[in-house]
Amino acid sequence: MQSLRFKAIDNLTSGNHEVNVEGSAKITSIFGENVFTLKTARDFLSDDAYKSLLGSIKTGQKIDRHVANQIAAGMRQWAEKKGVTHYTHWFQPLTGTSAEKHDSFFTLKGDGTPLDQFEGDALVQQEPDASSFPSGGLRATFEARGYTAWDPTSPAFIMHIGQGMTLCIPTIFVSYTGESLDYKAPLIKSIEALNKSAVEVCHYFDRNVTKVHVNLGWEQEYFVVDEGLANARPDLVMTGRTVFGHTPAKGQQLEDHYFGSIPERVYAYMRDFEYEAYRLGIPLRTRHNEVAPAQFECAPIFEELNLAVDHNTLLMDVMSRVAKRHKLKVLLHEKPFAGINGSGKHNNWSMGTDTGVNLLAPGKTPKTNLMFLAFFVNTIKAVHDHADLLRASIASAGNDHRLGANEAPPAIISAYIGHYLNKVLEEIETRVSDKFDEQDEVMLKLDIHKSIPELLLDNTDRNRTSPFAFTGNKFEFRAVGSSANCANGMLILNTIMAETLANFKKEVDALIEKGDKKEVAIMQVIKTYIKESKKVLFEGDGYSEEWTKEAAKRGLPNLKTTPIALDPLVSDKAKKLFEKHNVYTHSELEARHEIELEKYLKIVQIEGRVIGDLAGNHILPASIRYQNMLINNIKGLKDIGVPEKSYKAQLNILEEISEHINKVQALAFEMTEARKKANALTDTREKAIAYCDKVKPYFDEIRYHVDKLELLVDDSEWELPKYRELLFLR
Ligand code: ADP
Ligand code: MG
């Protein structure tokens, strides 16, 4: 029987994968056409209903039942006009993907007449059967109820799935007793916490500020491979990454893929998912190749954080669906292939006021410069004080392969701010005297605005190896994993920033009370913060061995594996912090910690099983078949009297193969034993650590021998598509 590998290669080269792509329409003419935008709402809602929706979006005003009915009716009318028959509450449970439960508008009246209906109650709240979503023990099984509640700040949209269309209502997901079970609820709370602290600090500079919002622009990296080839790799199907595979002769060393022309088949795929994205109001802006072969990136224009997170989650879903249409598979895993770059999701984060000021953009006057400096230095201080929480926010089984690996941020959290701003901070530290007086106000001019060209230069030549980099008017959190929900990192960043700003305000106020002039007080606290947090600043090569040593000397944490990196989430410090800012209760934090640990250990467990299965059912049989071929060959030569020195090569290969076969078998057995031991542990953290330290090390050991076998065994006997095929055939 021909193996799947060769069938896939045949299919691929026969080229029957052409797809017609619709996306020739002008973007502006289709943008947001499947979104219930405010403009659409204006057309479909009464004045009262529209005003109420607007009030809810702008100021969080409650929508009463009667009005909710009107909004629901308007939404249904709009959706039905487009051919929609079903609706769903769309939410983001802690599995990491989005979830839906579709209900139809169709219902029966008491007398049996059919009726299409969508009432306010159905819009506002639903009770999906939630018992199998992760809850970290928050929902006892007897009380399995979870509720989804409408989030009016993120507009409803229509999702096309095959021929069907569904009205999706973005919602938060909470337990019966109100604990959050998703990413969105705490994210919204963290945005509110940051708003509160930031507005107060803004008031030192501008009393007109009443709201500070948070922006996110994400950059999504991904791999694209042929679907047939991917399906012939059980490891890709089950885990999203290849657990075996010898490095191809050509990898990324030529760097010829980066910014090269996009392969045609992938280009058609990109245009197709972009078309879907535009109709869903996702403002994609850039697309390009990444460094590794078959790796790409897309990025939208930044948006308000909550919406940006929804859009990223939605796009990951759209990308996977559209790929199917093109007989491609998109890999969002952080490290689908060993030996070449992994994928990240850079999170560009900034804060803006309702007066139109980006708080992370250097200003044009001394006053706005001081405001910039305050927010800038507070961010550094937040990263310094809570680096452990930021690290925890990006910890996952997938990201463990990537952090510290080839071309990726290390597990040490540091911040890069560029040469110019480093000098500014140094000057403040050395020149602002303790008796800072008005004469020193010259300092405040700082001339940052005049140095903008210099700043830009700094940022174009910026350090790509830093996990947290200032890039001109925003910070870029680069350590986020490509498959992660952005909310996790962002909500922690918001919360530590809220905390730092609140303390800043307290300290400045105290100095003012003692008689300092406002600007002087602010400058003094900024100076203290620079002193206290400068050890987190690093401008050098974050991937280097020296940095790891230097960071250790500086006392910066370097938590390499997820089970340990998650610990800070449940420290007393973290519990107080999240409670104070009303983002997580203690039990919510403990539940999250538990869920993340469980997610981790389940992934490693599944990978272990896949490795065992593949070794047993694919690798060893193919290797033994080839071993037999060699034995027959040797026997035959011997039978006809050929001297042994003439088949020395065969004997050598046979010996080598036999050795690797033995090793694979023995190691797979040992790994199973280690898994059994780990499974016997009852404490989730201990179990996760056992999987990490006792089971996972076998993965690489087994892989070493399997990859050697791949080089030795007859290519036609090898059933798993090889790296060269996955990465270069399309
Ligand atoms: P790159 O990092 O690849 O050079 P850019 O810096 O141009 O790309 O932009 C990356 C992302 O940052 C985009 O999504 C962009 O919209 C976003 N971005 C730009 N300015 C801001 C800002 N002030 N706040 C948040 N995100 C921003
Ligand atoms: Mg970037």
Centre of ligand 1 to C-alpha 217, Å, is 6
Fold adopted by 599-728: Four Helix Bundle (Hemerythrin (Met), subunit A) (1.20.120)
Tell whether pTM > 0.85. Answer: yes
Q: Is 300 in the pocket of ligand 1 (CB under 6 A)?
A: yes
Q: Phi first, then psi: what are they for 717, rounded to 5°?
A: -90, -15
Question: What's the CATH number for 191-584?
Answer: 3.30.590.10
Question: Pairing relation of β-strands 295-300 and 468-470?
Answer: unpaired
* pLDDT in the model for residue 369: 83
Place of tokens 């399997």: 706
Give dist(CA 581, CA 589) in Å, integer. Answer: 13
> Hey, which of 194, 348, 372 would you mutate to test ligand 1's pocket, going by the most ligand atoms within 8 Å of its Cβ?
348
Q: Phi first, then psi: what are they for 217, rounded to 5°?
A: -120, 110
Place of tokens 């650590």: 689
Q: Is 96 in the pocket of ligand 1 (CB under 6 A)?
A: no
Name beta bridge partners: 213. 352
Centre of ligand 2 to C-alpha 299, Å, is 9
For residue 540, give Cα distances in angstroms to 532, 545, 550. 20, 11, 11
Q: Is 157 in the pocket of ligand 1 (CB under 6 A)?
A: no
Answer whether 574's CB lies under 8 Å from 583's CB.
no
For residue 55, give Cα distances in angstroms to 35, 49, 59, 483. 19, 10, 6, 34
Name beta bridge partners: 330. 224
For residue 568, give Cα distances in angstroms to 391, 466, 644. 9, 22, 64
Task: Kindly report, residue by residue over 617-659, the tens digit of the pLDDT.
Answer: 999 999 999 999 999 999 999 999 999 999 999 999 999 999 9
Which helix (H) or strand (E) segment holds residue 299: the answer is: strand 295-300
Structure token pair of residue 71? 């909004």
The DSSP letter of residue 615 is I
Q: Is 348 in the pocket of ligand 1 (CB under 6 A)?
A: yes
Centre of ligand 1 to C-alpha 302, Å, is 6
409: Cβ–Cβ under 8 A, 6 or more apart, which residues? 344, 403, 465, 466, 467, 478, 479, 542
* pLDDT in the model for residue 458: 57
Which ligand 1 atom minimizes the distance to the CA of 349? 25
Centre of ligand 1 to C-alpha 345, Å, is 12
Alpha helices by DSSP H, listed for 343-485, are 366-385, 387-393, 397-400, 419-431, 442-445, 452-460
Q: Which ligand gives the minimal distance to the CA of 345?
A: 2
Answer whether 375's CB lies under 8 Å from 199's CB.
no
Give dist(CA 507, CA 438) in Å, integer. Answer: 20
Centre of ligand 2 to C-alpha 468, Å, is 11
Give dist(CA 55, CA 577) in Å, integer. Answer: 30
Fold adopted by 31-182: Ubiquitin-like (UB roll) (3.10.20)
Burial of 163 (0-12, 13-18, 19+ CB in 10 A): exposed
Q: Is 474 in the pocket of ligand 1 (CB under 6 A)?
A: yes
* pLDDT in the model for residue 141: 46
Q: Is 471 in the pocket of ligand 1 (CB under 6 A)?
A: yes
Of all protein residues, the one whose alpha carbon is nearest to atom 14 of ligand 1 is 217
Q: Is 128 in the pocket of ligand 1 (CB under 6 A)?
A: no
Answer whether 262's CB lies under 8 Å from 288's CB.
yes
* pLDDT in the model for residue 3: 86
Give dist(CA 456, CA 454) in Å, integer. Answer: 5
Answer whether 503's CB lies under 8 Å from 201's CB.
no
Q: Is 473 in the pocket of ligand 1 (CB under 6 A)?
A: yes
Centre of ligand 1 to C-alpha 677, Å, is 47
Residues of 167-184 as b/e, b for ≥16 C-beta within 10 angstroms?
Answer: bbbbbbbbbeeebbbbbb
Low-confidence ranges of the chain (pLDDT < 50): 141-142, 439, 453, 460
Which ligand 1 atom minimizes the distance to the CA of 350? 24
Give the number of other Cβ atoms within 10 Å of residue 435's Cβ: 8
* pLDDT in the model for residue 42: 94
Of all protein residues, the one whose alpha carbon is nearest to atom 3 of ligand 1 is 219
Q: Which residue, among 292, 352, 34, has the nearest Cα to 165 in the 3D structure?
A: 34
Q: Which residue, among 360, 565, 399, has the nearest Cα to 479 in the 3D structure?
A: 399
> Hey, which of 474, 478, 493 would you mutate to test ligand 1's pocket, going by the most ligand atoms within 8 Å of its Cβ?
474
Q: What is the residue extent of each domain of the chain?
A: 31-182, 191-584, 599-728
Give dist(CA 632, CA 629) in Å, integer. Answer: 5
Place of tokens 């999906």: 128
Q: Is 303 in the pocket of ligand 1 (CB under 6 A)?
A: no
| Sequence-ordered strand ranges (E) for 581-657 | none
* pLDDT in the model for residue 96: 73
∠ CA 260-235-101, rounded to 5°? 90
Q: Which ligand gives the minimal distance to the CA of 287?
A: 1
Q: Which ligand gives the minimal distance to the CA of 461?
A: 1
